[in-house]
Chain A
Amino acid sequence: MKEKQLYHDLINACIRNEARAQKELYDLFAPAMFKVCLRYAQDEAAAQDIFQDAFVKIYQNLHRIESSAHLPGWIKKIVVYTSIDYLRSSAKYAQHQSIESAYSLAAPDPTIHQQLGAEEILSLVQQLPPRSRMVFNLYVMEGYSHKEIGDLLEISEGTSKSQLFEAKKALQKAIDKNERTQMIG
């Protein structure tokens, strides 16, 4: 209830263009949303672009939100959709990249001696081909079904499943290779 009231006040203040509220909204959601952008983008610079586009859309469309209780979900949806739009519009999306080359790209730096941490896994995800990355994120992180992913990305359910399979295979290979490297090292 408290949260709903907080969101309600924040939304109204942001609609009135109050800088303090805009900053408060940013501080509240930016860390989680930037992580989402990082998962969809191929690098940090792209994630920053997506993040900025998404937050501009958020501030400009706050008056359209139907219920303040939906604010976190609404913000996340905008961030995810902006990420997908970004990847669709980027030239790399059209370019076919085999999962094998993705695997070779995904091979971690041999100087990493520790077991793969969150940052390394994020780095591997970022190096997946754009479509696999989108499907992986939507399925594993956002909880979309293959049908929903198909509708969203304008691909068939089967394609969505195969993209997810390829993504997981590439990640598994990269992780295995890393572990082997550590053992030899």
Chain B
Amino acid sequence: GLGRWAYADAATAGDALYDVPRFGNVSVLHMTDCHAQLKPIYFREPNVNLGVGAMKGKLPHLVGEQLLKAANIPPGSAEAHALTYLDFETAARRYGKVGGFAHLATLVKRLKASRPGALLLDGGDTWQGSATALWTKGQDMVDAAKLLGVDVMTGHWEFTLGMDRVKEIVAKDFAGKVDFIAQNVKTADFGDPVFKPYVIREMNGVPVAIIGQAFPYTPIANPRYMVKDWEFGIQDDNMQKMVDEARAKGAKLVLVLSHNGMDVDLKMASRVSGIDAILGGHTHDGMPVASIVANAGGKTIVTNAGSNGKFLGVLDFDVKNGKLADFRYRLLPVFANMLAADAAMDALITKIRAPYDARLAERLAVTEGTLYRRGNFNGSGDQLLLDALMDVQGAEIAFSPGFRWGTTLLPGQDITREWLMDMTATTYSYATVTPMTGETIKTVLEDVCDNLFNPDPYYQQGGDMVRVGGLEYACDPNAKMGSRIQDMRLNGKPIQASHTYKVAGWAPVAEEAAHAGNKPVWDVVEQWFKAQGGKVAARKVNVPRLIGAVPNAGYDA
């Protein structure tokens, strides 16, 4: 059943959900990884988010009912729908779309009204993920974030607009309004800081430090040439230095606005002391409860606020006698039907989209199945891209990156150009066709698999496994690098190490690929849609046979 709100009207349900009593004297609102979604969307959470090693069975590696149990949330409720994939289609039709900056703005205003001085923190992945963000070089999101009242931000995909564009926005658009912070981004020559490492803001008489942690592996997960003069990395030692420096300057509460990914945040919280809370992003984990991590200096709260504008994290702190005494944490889902659109934000979004409306709305097909992306191994939306890349280019195998952004469509919905761009819009989305030996294919799969399942989170990059079309394989997540990928087959026949296969892919990180004259991936996929006759059947999702990893609280078949 859909629980106690199933028959209440949306506004009443909204009041119950969003009526969060104020607590303490310092409050921060946390959004992250909205991936440029200005309008409400559907977003299906994963049914596979495996935890390996010490991470097994722990947040954020819980899915479905296991996650609800950990947070004591009744199945069928609006919150349960926001947090899980359970009964997705029915619940999505019941509760409607999520996110949208106009609805988020209403929620932010409501919470700021009850929490004087509260700051709005944006964890990044804000300027990428939609057609308009790509076409305006992030300007749409910069303007929307300013109107929303973002106070402090850090970044990841922002950097794929290139160093000059990032510097331009920080120096011009954000001047005096938004602080872009990152303690772990330095110049590649002498290691000078590129951004402010932290800011100290006073809230109700309490000096609060917010330290920025940009995505440490930006030059690896994304094209290095886009950030060639900068160095990233986790930089624990410098983080400790910044914490100590901020405390020495009088900060009584020290927060980290992080784009590490949650497993990295949990490890960092155990190694650095003096951080009161890490508000994390990148891994898109909507965490209904905070994790508490012990370290040499005490305890650190770790949270993560999901993705796509679907959630707003609320952290209220009671700072007494110069230190944190107690806190409250809530992760609020943003239901468009329960929060009226803010008029000013709605007007801005309409204005931003006006020049592109016709292009965005163009219908490419109707989908008969649900199209989504999230999950460790594959999603039906990824499968659609794989099928299109193979069919159009005559490739026998296809790879699609394990991105965690991209929105969901319900059966019967139109596949518009806007959705296709939501799934593919980056500044380097070239479609490639590469001859690869069986040995190379194995090397690639092993490499990505280790980025996902290395038992030490500092060796992970926080995406999902590369999605694979054509090729079938088995995966043993607990094995060592080099032995995780097994039994690779094409059309039932074992892959030959020395045989060369035609492999399609997109979003290459190598610089040469940017100058090879390849078409953007959306052009290739649109060609495929044209051949489908208006309808796209539900996709048969190709996932590896798992060895040894299940049962796992992060796995629902």
Task: State yes or no: do A and B come from one complex.
Answer: no
Residues of B whose CB lies within 8 Å of any CB of A are none
- Interface of A with B (CB < 8 Å)? none
